[in-house]
Chains A and B, each alone.
Chain A
């Protein structure tokens, strides 16, 4: 049981606290309700670039890292389609240093061309390293626009193309800050050696005097229902051909979400998942298969990915995946298999709760979704999914007309 309390400052900052006295540390997670879905289609990658700029210092504190390191702290951040999330762990006695730093960069960032130019280069190198220079690195860059035609989820967080990042101007960056980074667009979660009353006092002290800002209203066009199967073939110089499939599924934690998540486990969870047993072990069509849901705040995707064995034919491999899915539509999943995947979720939840940072991140994110107590309710929500719900869910979502398939063909002779 993760107990927590929450309150909202006058400026709109939501604060959520979980006390865990077994650790000498505190985890501080500051979530901003802005992600790559909030970008202009001609300036993609800006939200993530901005995350980098947040480490560039302010007029008050020219170097973000130094004081935090002096306090024995450690920090990092990530950006995805929905959120930009900054986090710190620090020995509890130095928590004020962390709050001083986080509140200072929320109050006012020091934009300058030098920091912008360097971070643009760094992010372009990140783009090259992770998405272009690694085998299969561009697969999501291909798959997302196949699955989404309208919604901004069609571009990945890193951006559509490095040129978008290179072209960002200082004034675009400034506008982005003032229209998204604000107390009234953020959630602060604290977990670890801190009491709720301490937390309230400290949050008020450090964040209370930052003014509200006018946040750009989010007007996203919903992705229209997909009605036809979509396929795309790309050819790349990689060691093995691959198949990527994506189905539209419900938004994170909404009706149907938990069942879809469990289906990914039935199909590809661990070594005993159905696709692993049938298509890797028995048929030897794939060398690896995995499946996951993107868990986005707007309706997301269930993505399945498999790398083919040398001898396997693309068509046969794809048909075998489809057959395995069709099976789920006609035969109920056995009680033992249901129990297996449910147990897995129970232990993931419990395991996740052994880390204060994980708890702080989860609480902030679930607060954004509207119910932080999901942190305690989710194990039961997974338990509540039964074999009929699984079958209904497969019927509802895992259809060909709702599916996009990317055939990632290897052109390499020597395989």
Chain B
């Protein structure tokens, strides 16, 4: 039925992300920086309003995320239902976000609605009133979601993992507790908003097919807001890990167990970071990774296993996670350690390294494909005080790194005795 076709294998050309242009930087009248990535084929724009308002700054759990989610629940000019209706009417896609370090609001809209969108954005970001009834309802809804999340083994493992590696006193590590949902009030939100949602703690990232009057309009809605001298944020201290390195959380009736193994680590500002990223991809960062090959494709213990290296402002972490059949939890954990040890003792074969190199260079091309992706990629370097030359240097390092260097990094950053191991199931 099927004959050999004798097709010649195509030659593969080396992938090259090339020169990555920087966004155009301009300042509004009051000094708010605006980064503009102007390209795109459709008449649509993306604006990200980013504030130094992440959960790192909260004294009460959930304060940063609740403040952020409450922004659209009513302002001086518009009631909650009206904001929602307006955003929907002007067909905007919007998502509020809160990360550990930053928080903000991303909005996609058709260019012809730009004035209406900026008007609403100004209200949402700078004139929220945090009405009580909306706050109560939001907390109720969030509590229901929290309970559902608590039923997922990967969630249980993840929460415990961050507590273990960053400590339960630090905002990076603190777990959410049921009582946290009833401890917030309007005043707390208002104070948090007043401190962190400020023009001097803000940057704007605009991308897409840029409206010709963008600067005029941004100045109209955001450039007049008076700024104050920057007050240094209260420093929350560096996170520090807990003593206990192996923890199991029992969940009755679970069919699978979640695994999280990892440790705090360096971030984008460190010179070893590029190499660590390459090492991570080899271990568990792509479909053909060693962990996927071993635990999924050879043994069939799991639907998926992955590893990641993530940068945070005050730290970073590396982690390996999977959900596996209960009978094989121990075997899977052992195999994870085995793969780490193999990276520490055997140099990565040249063929494998060249696959990873090309895959990662392809990823860099994808990260800058289109204005929206490019703006997101820039932002995630920018928040560490870097620019797109970070990615150009990254590409160069991906090409230059050698097997011995990877082995040395595996020894340095994946010390088995320093790893935390959390299982839930």
Residues of A within 8 A of B (CB): 20, 22-25, 59-60, 63, 65-67, 69-74, 89-91, 93-94, 96-97, 100, 103-104, 107-108, 117-123, 125-126, 128-130, 132-136, 178, 206, 209-210, 213, 237-240, 269-272, 277, 280-281, 284, 287-288, 307, 309-310, 336, 339-340, 343-344, 346-347, 350-351, 353-356, 415
In the assembled complex, the Cα of A125 lies from the Cα of B255 at a distance in Å of 9
Across the interface, do B7 and A74 meet the contact criterion of CB distance under 8 Å?
A: no
In the assembled complex, the Cα of A132 lies from the Cα of B91 at a distance in Å of 36
Known: A70-B355, A347-B93. A354 touches B323 (CB 8 A): no
In the assembled complex, the Cα of A238 lies from the Cα of B253 at a distance in Å of 12
Across the interface, do B137 and A125 meet the contact criterion of CB distance under 8 Å?
A: no
Interchain residue pairs with CB less than 8 A apart (24):
A20-B41, A23-B369, A60-B4, A69-B356, A69-B362, A96-B10, A118-B297, A125-B301, A125-B325, A129-B256, A129-B303, A130-B303, A133-B323, A178-B1, A237-B253, A238-B151, A240-B144, A271-B87, A288-B141, A307-B148, A310-B144, A340-B89, A344-B91, A355-B370
Using a CB-CB cutoff of 8 Å, which residues 217-252 of chain B contact chain A? none
Known: A25-B366, A239-B148, A272-B81. A66 touches B288 (CB 8 A): yes
State which of B13, B110, B366 has its C-beta within 8 Å of the C-beta of A94. B13
Across the interface, do B88 and A270 meet the contact criterion of CB distance under 8 Å?
A: yes
CB distance from A117 to the nearest CB of B (A): 7
Across the interface, do B42 and A271 meet the contact criterion of CB distance under 8 Å?
A: no
In the assembled complex, the Cα of A238 lies from the Cα of B152 at a distance in Å of 11
Across the interface, do B87 and A107 meet the contact criterion of CB distance under 8 Å?
A: no
In the assembled complex, the Cα of A25 lies from the Cα of B365 at a distance in Å of 8
Known: A281-B137, A340-B85. A72 touches B15 (CB 8 A): yes
Known: A70-B358, A129-B256, A354-B372. A93 touches B88 (CB 8 A): no
Across the interface, do A340 and B148 meet the contact criterion of CB distance under 8 Å?
A: no
CB distance from B18 to the nearest CB of A (A): 8
Known: A25-B366, A178-B1. A351 touches B148 (CB 8 A): no
Residue of A nearest to B85 (CB): A272
In the assembled complex, the Cα of A343 lies from the Cα of B116 at a distance in Å of 14
Chain A residues closer than 8 Å to B370, beta-carbon distance:
22-23, 354-355
Using a CB-CB cutoff of 8 Å, which residues 67-108 of chain B contact chain A? 72, 80-81, 84-85, 87-93, 108
- Beta-carbon contacts of B293-309 to A below 8 Å, as 1s and 0s? 00011111111000000
Known: A71-B15, A94-B12, A239-B151. A24 touches B365 (CB 8 A): yes
Q: Tell me if B2 is interfacial: C-beta within 8 Å of chain A.
A: yes
Chain A residues closer than 8 Å to B405, beta-carbon distance:
none
In the assembled complex, the Cα of A270 lies from the Cα of B109 at a distance in Å of 15
Chain A residues closer than 8 Å to B80, beta-carbon distance:
281
CB distance from A213 to the nearest CB of B (A): 8
Across the interface, do B324 and A91 meet the contact criterion of CB distance under 8 Å?
A: no
In the assembled complex, the Cα of A343 lies from the Cα of B302 at a distance in Å of 43
- Beta-carbon contacts of B171-197 to A below 8 Å, as 1s and 0s? 000000000000000000000000000
- Beta-carbon contacts of B310-332 to A below 8 Å, as 1s and 0s? 00000000000001110000000
In the assembled complex, the Cα of A104 lies from the Cα of B43 at a distance in Å of 39
State which of B88, B110, B286, B358 has its C-beta within 8 Å of the C-beta of A340. B88
Chain B residues closer than 8 Å to A206, beta-carbon distance:
7
In the assembled complex, the Cα of A97 lies from the Cα of B354 at a distance in Å of 16
B43, B89, B253, B254 pick with most chain A CB within 10 angstroms: B89
Chain B residues closer than 8 Å to A238, beta-carbon distance:
148, 151
Chain B residues closer than 8 Å to A240, beta-carbon distance:
144, 147-148
State which of B7, B43, B44 has its C-beta within 8 Å of the C-beta of A103. B7
Chain B residues closer than 8 Å to A350, beta-carbon distance:
42-44, 110
Across the interface, do A122 and B256 meet the contact criterion of CB distance under 8 Å?
A: no
Across the interface, do B84 and A270 meet the contact criterion of CB distance under 8 Å?
A: yes
Across the interface, do A135 and B303 meet the contact criterion of CB distance under 8 Å?
A: no
Residue of A nearest to B151 (CB): A135
In the assembled complex, the Cα of A277 lies from the Cα of B148 at a distance in Å of 22
Interface size on B, as a range, is 35 or more
Q: Is the interface of B mostly helix, strand, loop or mixed?
A: mixed
In the assembled complex, the Cα of A272 lies from the Cα of B85 at a distance in Å of 5
Residue of A nearest to B326 (CB): A128
Q: Tell me if B415 is interfacial: C-beta within 8 Å of chain A.
A: no
Chain B residues closer than 8 Å to A270, beta-carbon distance:
84, 87-88
Across the interface, do A72 and B144 meet the contact criterion of CB distance under 8 Å?
A: no
Across the interface, do A71 and B362 meet the contact criterion of CB distance under 8 Å?
A: yes
Q: Tell me if B287 is interfacial: C-beta within 8 Å of chain A.
A: yes
Residues of B within 8 A of A (CB): 1-2, 4-5, 7, 9-10, 12-13, 15, 39-44, 72, 80-81, 84-85, 87-93, 108-110, 137, 140-141, 144-145, 147-148, 150-153, 253-256, 286-288, 296-303, 323-325, 354-356, 358-359, 361-363, 365-366, 369-370, 372
In the assembled complex, the Cα of A117 lies from the Cα of B296 at a distance in Å of 12
CB distance from A120 to the nearest CB of B (A): 8
State which of A89, A134, A280, A339 has its C-beta within 8 Å of the C-beta of B141. A280
In the assembled complex, the Cα of A234 lies from the Cα of B347 at a distance in Å of 55
CB distance from B300 to the nearest CB of A (A): 3
Known: A125-B256, A240-B148. A354 touches B140 (CB 8 A): no
Across the interface, do B12 and A97 meet the contact criterion of CB distance under 8 Å?
A: yes
Chain B residues closer than 8 Å to A237, beta-carbon distance:
253
Chain A residues closer than 8 Å to B296, beta-carbon distance:
122
In the assembled complex, the Cα of A209 lies from the Cα of B365 at a distance in Å of 33
Across the interface, do B361 and A72 meet the contact criterion of CB distance under 8 Å?
A: yes
CB distance from B258 to the nearest CB of A (A): 9
In the assembled complex, the Cα of A210 lies from the Cα of B286 at a distance in Å of 31
Chain A residues closer than 8 Å to B108, beta-carbon distance:
347, 351
Residue of B nearest to A97 (CB): B10
In the assembled complex, the Cα of A62 lies from the Cα of B217 at a distance in Å of 57
In the assembled complex, the Cα of A353 lies from the Cα of B255 at a distance in Å of 40
CB distance from A414 to the nearest CB of B (A): 9
CB distance from B82 to the nearest CB of A (A): 9
In the assembled complex, the Cα of A23 lies from the Cα of B386 at a distance in Å of 25
| With A100-B7, A129-B256 already in contact, 14 other A-B pairs whose C-beta atoms are closer than 8 Å | A59-B4, A69-B359, A74-B359, A94-B13, A108-B1, A120-B300, A125-B325, A135-B148, A238-B151, A281-B80, A284-B140, A287-B145, A344-B91, A354-B372
In the assembled complex, the Cα of A107 lies from the Cα of B2 at a distance in Å of 6
Q: Which 7 A-B pairs have the closest CB atoms?
A: A72-B362, A121-B300, A108-B2, A72-B15, A343-B91, A239-B147, A96-B10
Residue of A nearest to B8 (CB): A100
Known: A134-B152, A239-B150. A128 touches B369 (CB 8 A): no
In the assembled complex, the Cα of A347 lies from the Cα of B114 at a distance in Å of 13
Chain A residues closer than 8 Å to B4, beta-carbon distance:
59-60
CB distance from A379 to the nearest CB of B (A): 11
State which of A67, A74, A356 has its C-beta within 8 Å of the C-beta of B363. A74
Chain B residues closer than 8 Å to A354, beta-carbon distance:
40-42, 44, 370, 372
Across the interface, do B140 and A135 meet the contact criterion of CB distance under 8 Å?
A: no
Across the interface, do B365 and A344 meet the contact criterion of CB distance under 8 Å?
A: no
In the assembled complex, the Cα of A340 lies from the Cα of B44 at a distance in Å of 17
Across the interface, do A344 and B88 meet the contact criterion of CB distance under 8 Å?
A: yes
Chain A residues closer than 8 Å to B5, beta-carbon distance:
60, 104, 107, 209-210
CB distance from B34 to the nearest CB of A (A): 21
Chain B residues closer than 8 Å to A119, beta-carbon distance:
300
Chain B residues closer than 8 Å to A288, beta-carbon distance:
141, 144-145
Across the interface, do B359 and A72 meet the contact criterion of CB distance under 8 Å?
A: yes
Residue of B nearest to A347 (CB): B91
Across the interface, do B256 and A284 meet the contact criterion of CB distance under 8 Å?
A: no
Across the interface, do B88 and A272 meet the contact criterion of CB distance under 8 Å?
A: yes
In the assembled complex, the Cα of A336 lies from the Cα of B39 at a distance in Å of 33
Residue of A nearest to B371 (CB): A354
Across the interface, do B110 and A347 meet the contact criterion of CB distance under 8 Å?
A: yes
